[in-house]
Amino acid sequence: MAKKLFTQLTEDNPFKKIYSWISPERHWTEKARSWYISYSLFFIVLIAFMALIGEYLFILVILSFVFLWFVQGATPPHDVEHTITSLGIRTFDTFFKWKNIRHFWFSKKAGIVYLQLETFEDAKPDFIKRISLLMKDGDDPKLFNLLVQFIDYGDKKEVGYSIILNLLNGEYFDQNRYLEDDTETFNKLPAPKED
């Protein structure tokens, strides 16, 4: 599969919006009161244990984490528009040019399909940034056919998919999932003539 590093503006290829969708900025479910109580008890026991062994700095780290985690659990996400254009992808008020997106791939976690992007900045090409975009259910084949025209679909080795990434991003979708099966068309072709 050939890699297209950038797209040039020409008269036949002006800057234009190709596809867009709106989704929450992150996956979120409303938490029940029991969720807060059970995790509060767990962290109280952990903090008590840290106090017994004299790890006061670690207690501050735990309290900071718990505060941020509980605030995130209680705050519903905002809706964000993701737009694919002829020059790149705009999301989270940032524009990523095609030449700055190394790979894309799809994954599924908790019943939600994500478009994963691996990006970098020109000034820091070795600093890889990964972005997860929530998608509408069933849009991944359409987006695959669209995005593969501009950037490569990353295989497991290229994106470094491991047990940790599987826990964070969910099940990796292999690109074979999106390739059309032309076996029937191939079988209908006439047999080669023998000389």
Regarding beta strands 171-173 and 152-153, do their DSSP bridges make them parallel or antiparallel, or are they unpaired? unpaired
Assessment of whether the complete model's pTM goes beyond 0.75: no
The tens place of each residue's pLDDT in the chain, 195 residues long, gives 444 444 444 455 567 889 988 888 888 888 888 988 999 999 999 999 999 999 999 999 999 999 998 898 888 888 899 999 989 999 988 899 999 999 999 999 988 999 999 998 878 888 888 899 998 778 889 999 999 999 999 888 888 888 888 888 888 898 888 887 655 555 555 655 665
For domain 17-24+80-175, give the fold: PH-domain like (2.30.29)
Copy the structure tokens of residue 70.
């509980």
Q: What is the domain partition of the chain in residue ranges? A: 17-24+80-175, 33-74
Rounded to 5°, angle at Cα 50 from 56 and 39? 115
- Phi and psi angles of residue 12, each rounded to the nearest 5 degrees, phi first: -85, -5
